[in-house]
Amino acid sequence: MIHLFNGFQDPFGGSDLEALELYRLLSADSEVHLWATSSSVSGELMRNFPIRRVSLSKWDVPNGGTYVFLGSHWRNKVWPYLIPRPRRLIYVFNTFHPKIIALTTRMPRMLNWPDAELVLISDFQRRLLRVDGVVHPSLIDVERFSPRRLGSDRPFTVGRLSRDGPGKHHADDIPLYETLLAEGTALRIQGGAGLKDSLMPHPQLELFPPGRFSAEEFLQTLDVFYYRTGWHVETFGRVVLEAMACGLPVVCHSHGGYSDHIRHGENGFLFETTEQALRILADLKADPTLRATVGKRARESFEQIYSSQAVRQRLDFYLR
């Protein structure tokens, strides 16, 4: 029996989506239960998935087996001291907060839980945090994404996809977007509603709130996927891998977990400065063959990362 714990606060959050995909895959081999660790759990997710809240009064609690915490933890809760002890304790640590690792891996003596096994989401994260653990890329439903269909009548279009909030957008991207628009490039940003006060209206600028379109639908409308964040550090950046799954050339800032999977100039592009990003985007705009070649290699890289054999090995870690 496996119990998966997550905040389940955001239907579009990477941690939430990873927990749900792990639930889908593990359910084929084991009895799996979903538990919300946050009191502000998403009503939409509760309606669409069998997510439960821990209730001591009703004794609706995890009852032993393997406890897997994904992007959440049990600290400062009473119920862990009262429920059955897990056989295994696993933390899927998909953020960049060293203090949380210390909180969740040091067991209080009274709790008497087993030592925590740590799953990291990228080698980039492991290098920065200097911790030991197995590395599993964030799970993505391969069947949802297919290479982009060619033959659109749209102008050359650059876009990005993310949640909308502080830290998700870099201040230097505003002048970059203005330059692209001035040069005739169309720009589509889902998770960009917060940019409306920073960018002047433009006939080729489209800003959407998160969730307006599904990821697979939105990405099909782009020629190039562009990504850079502000103070928020992407320990993985599943949206970048989803774009690669759609056969899109990705142009991303080099500081992020996705960089482990991008070979510059082969299956995508990495940049340090805004000037470098603009040069790469200009080359891609001028050369459809380059876009097609890099996009094809991006899809091939995605298929290797999420091959049935690779995914099976990651699932076996939880089932052993």
Q: Which of 174, 180, 213, 179 is nearest to 197 (CA)?
A: 174
C-alpha R_g of the chain:
21
Predicted pLDDT of residue 109: 80
Predicted pLDDT of residue 150: 62
CA distance to 25, 145, 317, per residue, from 308 (Å) = 11, 15, 15
Q: Which of 235, 240, 249 is nearest to 288 (CA)?
A: 249
CB neighbour list of residue 172: distance below 8 Å, 6 or more residues apart: 228, 274
Predicted pLDDT of residue 176: 97
pLDDT, averaged per 10 consecutive residues of the chain (320 residues), comes to 94 89 95 92 94 91 94 82 94 80 77 91 91 91 84 86 88 96 97 90 95 94 96 92 97 96 98 98 97 97 95 95
Domains and CATH numbers, the chain: 2-139 (3.40.50), 144-305 (3.40.50.2000)
Q: What is the pTM of this model?
A: 0.89
**Measured distance CA(37)–CA(54) in Å, rounded:** 8
